[in-house]
Structures are given as C-alpha cells and as structure tokens.
Amino acid sequence: MLFTRSKIFLACTLAAGLGLTACSNSNNDEKKQSTLTASAPATGEASNLSERNAQQRLINTLQQHFKKANINAKILNIKATEVPNLYWVNLEGMSSVYATADGKYIIQGDVLRLGDSKIHNVSESLQSEANKKLLANLKAEDLLIYKAQGKTKHVVYVFTDVSCPYCHKLHEHMSEINAKGIEVRYIAWPRGEQFMPAMESVWCSEDRQAAFDQAIAGTPLAPATCKNPVRDQYQLGLNMGVNGTPAIYNSEGVYLGGYLSPEELVERLNN
C-alpha cells in the first residue's frame, strides 16, 4: 500500500512556512516504511578514515535503536554538519532528521544558525544536494511542463495536487510566471489515496496540460488509467521531505517555499 503508518517523525515547518502557504498532506502521518539497512559506509563531507568510521558507527547505533523501538526506516545517507557532534540523516520516505554523534537523540525540524544578517538553515546545502540528484533523474515525458515565454531564465519543480486550493492559486498565475522566463515542471503529489485517481487521470490524458487545467479548476475529469509515474513521484516527494502542496524547488534542489506570488518567486530565484 502507498500510505502505510510510520512510527516516526511528523514533518515540521517554520511558522511562516508550509502551513500558511500550502495544502497539507491528508495522510501526513502515514509514511511508507522500508527496512533499515547499512551495507556500505556512509558518505560524508569529511574524507578521513576516522570520520567515516564514526559515521558508520552512528549508522549501526541508529539501526540498533530503531530495531528496539520497532521502527523500520532506511538510512540513505549521513553527513556531518557544521554543528559539533551533530549529523544530518537522510531517511527514505520521510523528512531528514538530525542525530547526535552517540545516536541517542534524534532532532526533527530545522537547525538554524544565528549571527549573520540572515538566518542560515544548517541542513539546506546537504538536503539540496540530495534533492538535486533526485530531480535530475526525472524524465521530461513524466512531468507536466509549462515552458517559459521567450528565453528560459529559471526552471522550477513544483509538487502539486489538483485538489489543493493553494495549487489552484499558483496555477492561476502560470501565464505571468512563464512570462517572467520561468519554466514550471509539475510533479504529481496527491495528498492522499483518495486523490490518486484524479492525478492519474491527468497524467494518463492525451492532452495532459488541458486535463490539468480542467481538473485544477474544479471540473471533474473522465477516469483514465495507464502506466504512469504518479505513485513513483509521490514517493520521490516523501524522500525529499515534501509534506504538502505546492512545494517549489529550484533546479539546484533548494526548497523555495509553498505558494509564492510571481514576484515572490522571482525574488527567491534571484537570491
């Protein structure tokens, strides 16, 4: 089943984040489970053997603690952060978390560095690096693409659902967004099993754009089935930490936000 109950970690967002600018996942506490494995040493920022050994010991410790707690979750990657004795842990099918070096504590949410003119998210570069690789593996024929008018200045990836009011609000500005030289690549991300058929009908339509325009405006589509990437794209979103729609990323894998006006989107992209 696509939506099975996970026993760890509800995704967190900042107060000004997804909760006010995106439609939440109706199955937000139901994440796909996987078997925890650590068959190979984790890669990390440090290249010395001591650091690699420390990371492998942390994987092993987390595996033991997860097993005792009857938790199934696959560790994809572990990397040291700028915070002493704090590691970023990339998990399959759920948002990444932080772990202390001894593996006794897990921290969910954001770790923010103060002291500069802007607040810095400690894991942003680590998460975006992983996201960039995942987005680069997507095939154009599996996406719903609205091309920029004239020269393409930016490309954004947007996890979307036709049942989401904020997605509808964003889509209303598509012509304006495209006119600013921004190409929008939609990724299917139904917020619950009940919304899966509608998204599959869009992706299986002969004219995907026309079908999406119709569905997101609230007009029901005739059911359509085919071999489609919708469920795989939903899982991709989970791997990247998506927990609501729209979720907008630039081509470097950096999360830009939920709903953004065309002006706000341009500002985020330029910064």
Active site residues: 161, 164, 167, 191
Is 185 within 8 Å of 147 (Cβ atoms)?
A: no
In this structure, how many other beta carbons lie within 10 angstroms of the beta carbon of residue 112?
12
3-state secondary structure of 148: coil
- Please give the backbone phi and psi of residue 65, each rounded to the nearest 5 degrees, phi first: -65, -40
Return d(Cα 109, Cα 156) in angstroms, integer: 24
CA angle 201, 202, 204 (to 5 degrees): 65
Is 255 within 8 Å of 248 (Cβ atoms)?
A: yes
Return d(Cα 129, Cα 158) in angstroms, integer: 17
Cross-strand partners of 112: 121
Stated as kind and residue range, the H or E segment containing 262 is: helix 262-270
3-state secondary structure of 156: strand
In this structure, how many other beta carbons lie within 10 angstroms of the beta carbon of residue 84?
7
Cross-strand partners of 245: 23
Concatenating the DSSP letter of every residue in 171-199 gives HTTHHHHHHTTEEEEEEE--SSGGGHHHH
